[in-house]
Amino acid sequence: MKVLLSLIICIALYSCSKEPDNPPPAKNILGSVQYKVNGQLVTVNNKNIESGEFILFSKQLRDNFLVETRYLVKAEKAINNAFVFAIVADSLQQITYHYDSAGVNNQPTGFVLALAFEAQESEIVYGGDYFDITITYYKNTRISGTFSAKLTPEKNLFDYNDRGTTIISDGVFNEIPLTH
């Protein structure tokens, strides 16, 4: 009886330790950001940092440097195409957040917004420049929403003809996971 029981246990252990014939399916990539810069589409998927295409979403608590708690999002697809923005809030709500030159210049350490598109950087500088972001979903450390902006290119900051000429439209971000 002991020999038979030992044989059954050995067969069970052997069959459990075998590699499955079909490997498990790859996990879906969580998180994507898509937007147009002056009509040109940019899509960033949350692959990994090593690939140069990634999205980071983190909460930065108020401290000696930061005047307010903020949520920072960075979507990068190679170094020449990156979008970084902050949402200044103690906790995210499903509302529209509006940032313009008056608010940004009064709290420079609380808010961040920088766009690098084809190696040209733009930001909120002048009256009329803005960044609007609407949170449509925030649950289980995932965030989704929409955004739009009108920015000024850094290359000609003092050329008033260039102010507000970088237009971000059709911005959408989906299921970006909070990084701890």
> 22-57, pLDDT tens digit by residue?
433 334 458 999 999 999 999 999 998 888 899 999
Q: How is residue 76 written in tokens? A: 């990068």
Percent of the chain with pLDDT over 90: 46
Which pLDDT does position 21 carry in this prediction?
A: 44
pTM attached to this predicted model: 0.77
Average pLDDT of the chain is: 80
**pLDDT over 80 at 7, yes or no:** no
Q: Where do the domains of the chain lie?
A: 25-177
Q: How is residue 1 written in tokens? A: 């009886």
Distance CA 161, CA 7 (A): 84
> 87-97, pLDDT tens digit by residue?
988 888 999 99
Place of tokens 């979507």: 75
